[in-house]
Structure 1
Amino acid sequence: MSAPVPVTEDLLRSMPLPRHQEGEDKDERGRVLVVAGSVEVPGGALLTALGTLRAGAGKVRIATCRSVAVPLALAMPEARVIGLAETQAGGIAAEEAEPLARGAAEADAVVLGPGMIDTQAAAALTAGILAGSADAGVPFVLDAAALRGLSAGETPRSLAGRLVITPHAGEMATLLGMERKAVLADRLAAARRAAAAFQAVVVMKGGCSYIATPDGSAWACDRGNVGLATSGSGDTLAGIIGGLLARGAPPVAATLWGVFLHGEAGARLARRQGLVGFLARELLAEVPPIMAGLAPPG
């Protein structure tokens, strides 16, 4: 197969993000449903939801465990927060899949998975939401524990072309049923294999991230650095991609832009603060000026 195409400023300018006109309301800038968090990691939902708004989405709803819903709503007054039934392990109960599928059908993008710690419940919840909203036409970003709800050959066909998945090496190994060291030996091949198996746009996360599509097309983004290997960083990436999808960017464009914005945010923080020690939450304030710098004039 051909070598991956570098993700550069010029490439992104050739696929500009949707532009929003004065007079548009927040619904026209896109509505995101974030299904995320747990009793122990409510911050995963917070970082993801913040990422959606920093990427330019107009509205975000967070669906999370009932016992952390009020504190989360206070921490993020910009979001509507919905409390859900919990498992004994502190995750979102799988029985919530049906109402969440209805909520997904009302959104412009859905992000599933960040901060979920009950992996068994997360897998069942994800599978139920995908099955229940497969015909709604909404794009999905699956991250972290939600990836366990995928099964090659069993993902609803109607989701093809509307699914973005963002695994790290360990999650990719589980998805493909292979050893982590084998994934690391050829991360691009793993990304292409997963894209074909799940009919998804795949982000194989790393210092150089690879993005692949089901037809074998691939891109490489080397904007990342070791500072991005910090708690919550992946949650912010998932949120950024979800926000761009909600605004109307196609899945490939939203993913390429999201990976670049995330990596460039880390690069800017590293230049100002040092290579390690910046926080995932600090990445997000960098995103709007990076987008503005790449926007066409006028």
Structure 2
Amino acid sequence: MSAPIPVTPELLRELPLPNHREGEDKNSRGRVLVIGGSREVPGAALLAGMAALRAGAGKLQIAAPASLAAHLAIAMPEARVTGLDETAEGGLAPEEAARLAGRCAGCDVVVLGPGMMDPPATAQLTRRVLEEAEGSPGFVLDAGALAELMDCRAALRRHAGRLVLTPHAGEMARMLGLPAEQVAADPLGVARQAAAALGAVVVMKGGRSFVVSPQGEAWSCDRGNIGLATSGSGDTLAGIIGALVSRGAPPVTATLWGVFLHAEAGDRLARRIGPLGYLAREIPGEVPAIMGELAG
């Protein structure tokens, strides 16, 4: 296999994002549905949604446990928020899968998984949404939605060419049933294994992140800093990538841009605030300026 290609501004300018013109309505800018949150992690869906809008999506829906819905709607007045039945543990109930599958038809991308903390229920919900999803949205699968994907390969094949997975090393190890040491020893090789097995673009998140296509093409991004290793940071990355897919960028292009924007946002926050202590909620606010500079 060839060495990974560095993700640089020059590379991204050769892979431009869709150009939205004056006069277009918000639907043409992309419709994002974030499915996530739980009683213990209510803010993850909020972070993903905020990042999606900052990355240029035109419309945002959030589907979350009913006990969180009113709070999320107040915190994110730009979003349509739907409260769903929840499990005793405070996660999304698998019985809501049919309702969510129908909602997929009105979206360009579904970001599924941020903050979902009831593993058995999350696995059932993820599988059923993938099996029953109406329309042809893209999917960005993150966090809790990743755990049982090796058992969902038939469902994943329905969405070939429209899938992005965003695991960190621990999630990758659980997803593939590998020792954590094996993932740490060869993150690129493991990412290629996952991309080929699941037919998805994979982001292997870490100090040096790798992006791999289902065909084994690979890119690397060593921008960013230790400050990005903070609670909620991955939720913002999922939201950014989801927005770019919703706007019409192919999954590989959206993922390369998303990884770079996320890393560069961290670098700018580190210079302004310090290398440690900036917050995930501050990452999305850096994204519009970076996109504008790269497009200029």
TM surpasses 0.5: yes
C-alpha contact (below 8 Å) 2:98/2:129 kept by paired residues: yes
Q: Does 1:207 align with 2:207?
A: yes
What one-letter code is carried by the residue in structure 1 that aligns with 2:159? L
Residue 225 of structure 1: CA displacement? Answer: 1.1
Which residue does 2:192 correspond to in 1? 192
- Say which SS state the counterpart of residue 154 (structure 1) adopts: helix
What one-letter code is carried by the residue in structure 1 that aligns with 2:86? E
What one-letter code is carried by the residue in structure 2 that aligns with 1:69? A
C-alpha contact (below 8 Å) 2:156/2:199 kept by paired residues: no
Q: Does 1:150 align with 2:154?
A: no
C-alpha contact (below 8 Å) 1:125/1:149 kept by paired residues: no
- Say which SS state the counterpart of residue 155 (structure 2) adopts: coil
Write the deviation string for residues 31-69 of structure 1: whole angstroms up to 9, x where unpaired.
Answer: 000001011111001000001100000000000000110
Which residue does 1:48 correspond to in 2? 48
Q: Which runs of 4+ in 1 moved over 6 A?
A: none
- Say which SS state the counterpart of residue 150 (structure 2) adopts: coil
Residue 149 of structure 1: CA displacement? Answer: 4.0
Q: Which deviates more, 154-163 or 31-40?
A: 154-163
Alpha-carbon separation, structure 2, partners of 1:155 and 1:71: 33
> What TM-score does the superposition give when structure 1 sets the normalisation length?
0.97
Aligned residues: CA RMSD: 1.0
Alpha-carbon separation, structure 1, partners of 2:123 and 2:259: 25
Q: What is the identity percentage for the equivalent residue pairs of Structure 1 and Structure 2?
A: 63
Alpha-carbon separation, structure 1, partners of 2:225 and 2:102: 39
- Say which SS state the counterpart of residue 34 (structure 2) adopts: strand
Alpha-carbon separation, structure 1, partners of 2:125 and 2:22: 39
Which residue does 2:172 correspond to in 1? 172
Unpaired runs of 5+ residues, structure 1, are none
C-alpha contact (below 8 Å) 1:46/1:76 kept by paired residues: yes
What one-letter code is carried by the residue in structure 1 that aligns with 2:54? R
> What TM-score does the superposition give when structure 2 sets the normalisation length?
0.98
Residue 156 of structure 1: CA displacement? Answer: 3.5
Q: Number of aligned residue pairs: give it.
A: 295
What one-letter code is carried by the residue in structure 1 that aligns with 2:163? L
Write the deviation string for residues 241-265 of structure 1: whole angstroms up to 9, x where unpaired.
Answer: 0011111111000000000000000
Which residue does 1:109 correspond to in 2? 109
Unpaired runs of 5+ residues, structure 2, are none
What one-letter code is carried by the residue in structure 2 that aligns with 1:255? T
Write the deviation string for residues 79-123 of structure 1: whole angstroms up to 9, x where unpaired.
Answer: 000000000000000000011011012100000000111111111
Alpha-carbon separation, structure 2, partners of 1:177 and 1:31: 34
Which residue does 1:126 correspond to in 2? 126
Alpha-carbon separation, structure 2, partners of 1:294 and 1:156: 33
What one-letter code is carried by the residue in structure 1 that aligns with 2:233? S
- Say which SS state the counterpart of residue 140 (structure 1) adopts: strand
Which residue does 1:252 correspond to in 2? 252
